[in-house]
Amino acid sequence: MCHIPVAGHALLGVADAGGSIELLRLVGSENAYTLQPVSSFALEKQCLALSLDWSTGKTERASDQPLKIISSDSKGQLHLLKVNEAGPALQEVATWHAHHFEAWIAAFNYWQTEIVYSGGDDALLKGWDTRTPGTSVFTSERHSMGVCSIQSSPHRENILATGSYDEHVLLWDTRSMKQPFADMPTQGGVWRLKWHPFHHHLLLAACMHSGFKIFNCQKAIEKQEACTVSVSHTLPSSLVYGADWSWLYFGNLSQTHQPCCLEAFPYGNVGAKASQLYSLKAVHQSPAACSHHLAEDEEECHSKLESGSGPKTPLHPLTEDMMKSGGWCRAAGHKGWDCDLSLEAASLDIDLLATCSFYDHVLHLWKWESS
């Protein structure tokens, strides 16, 4: 999801198995929202598009900075695309060979968007300067298996997180890529990493058969000490391949009406109690289908909570009463996305995150409560 509006709409990028990058925009009507295809770009014949990242990972973007996408494919190539925001339409800037096998992941340095990183099934982590594509800035062999997740921190310059099938998350200082400054075992291959949109020290990891974990990286970043696991959920019947935080804030908001701003959002420690809101299961799947039909999964959830504090909590559907007693606020920092509630006065007691899992084809929505 692009974190800024494009031509007045929220824009979603999709890397698909047909080898294309597709852009869809969110269009609202009186009663519903729909995703409408607006542009598509074929990367290469007989390949799978494996990842994409937007150049807008930070909360602010210079007015003269073009909107870009970096993508990777199953042939080991990287593709740099420019988004014509008026269209919006995709235009190829550069394509180059990066890895001997599948290039599982490609990601921007959000602080220097000319720099991108890639990870491949050849167990290599590489850095690239897109002004001279095809020549790597560095190559790291620190991971012992395929590198399949990378994300630059949107909060702290020079912080990079990487994950691999070797069941480790590594934290790097991009000014010195010889050795990571933190190494976190995960007991599962790390397929996706996402920094929290507000709390600079929280890192969410999708760890395949080990479920998902939330790492508290504050001490590691500030003092280069070990990271701690705040929450770990295991889904025994499936593999967690995707995970992300919600950019909508949910909590008890005061009635003080002020423009909410991301800079005023306090960075506090959060607790370790999580419960599930919904499970959504794909009931119809077709490679040619333009949409996926989702229905609430009626099966009992067997998620296991492994955390340092707090008892198990029951499943809580997101009800109208919850909406009335709390409030939603979109992440600010972008023109056109402000809300009229103050995050400064918010009670930071709830975070929302989503995970998706293999085999059972389920999207889980989780509520994490502060302790």
Task: Evaluate whether residue 308 is within a structural domain.
Answer: no
Residues 6+ apart with CB under 8 A from 343: 249, 260, 261, 262, 264, 265, 329, 332
What is the chain's pLDDT, residue by residue, as a tens digit (371 residues)? 898 888 888 999 999 999 999 999 999 888 898 999 999 999 988 999 999 999 998 866 666 788 999 999 999 999 999 999 888 899 999 999 999 999 999 999 999 999 999 999 999 999 999 999 999 999 999 999 999 999 999 999 999 999 999 999 999 999 999 999 999 999 999 999 999 998 999 999 999 999 999 999 999 999 878 899 999 988 888 899 999 998 875 443 333 333 233 322 223 333 345 666 656 554 433 333 333 333 333 333 333 344 443 333 322 323 334 444 444 444 433 333 333 333 333 434 468 899 999 888 889 899 887 55
Task: Evaluate whether residue 15 is within a structural domain.
Answer: no
Burial of 236 (0-12, 13-18, 19+ CB in 10 A): exposed
The CATH number assigned to the domain holding 101 equals 2.130.10.10
314 preceded by cis ω (within 30°)?
no
If we measure between CA atoms, which residue out of 188, 196, 177 comes closest to residue 233? 188
Residue in the structure block whose two tokens are 């921190």:
153
Q: Which amino acid is at 328?
A: W
Q: Is residue 78 within 8 Å of residue 129, measured between CB atoms? A: no
* Start-to-end CA span in the chain (Å): 30
What CA–CA distance (Å, rounded) separates 4 from 85?
11
- Give exposure, 105-118, as e/b (b: 16+ Cβ within 10 Å): bbbbbbbebebbbb
Determine which helix (DSSP H) or strand (DSSP E) holds 297, and give its type and residue range.
Answer: none
**Phi and psi torsions of 325, nearest 5°:** -80, -20
**Phi and psi torsions of 222, nearest 5°:** -85, -35
293: left (phi over 0), alpha (psi -120 to 50) or beta: beta
DSSP secondary structure of 166-219:
TSEEEEEETTB-SS-SEEEE-SS---EEEE-SS-TTEEEEE-BTT-EEEEE-HH
> What pairs with residue 294 in β-bridges?
282
Domain extent at residue 230 = 52-245
Task: Evaluate whether residue 88 is within a structural domain.
Answer: yes
Q: What is the pLDDT of residue 351?
A: 80
Q: Is residue 100 within 8 Å of residue 123, measured between CB atoms? A: no
Q: Is residue 109 within 8 Å of residue 128, measured between CB atoms? A: no
Task: Evaluate whether residue 31 is within a structural domain.
Answer: no
Q: What is the pLDDT of residue 59?
A: 64
How many domains does the chain fold into?
1
Tokens (6 digits) for 80: 């740099």
Task: Evaluate whether residue 278 is within a structural domain.
Answer: no
Task: Evaluate whether residue 290 is within a structural domain.
Answer: no
Task: Evaluate whether residue 198 is within a structural domain.
Answer: yes
Q: What is the pLDDT of residue 274?
A: 60
Task: Evaluate whether residue 5 is within a structural domain.
Answer: no
Q: What is the pLDDT of residue 100?
A: 96
| Side-chain-facing half-sphere of 7: CA atoms under 13 Å | 15
Q: What is the pLDDT of residue 267?
A: 30
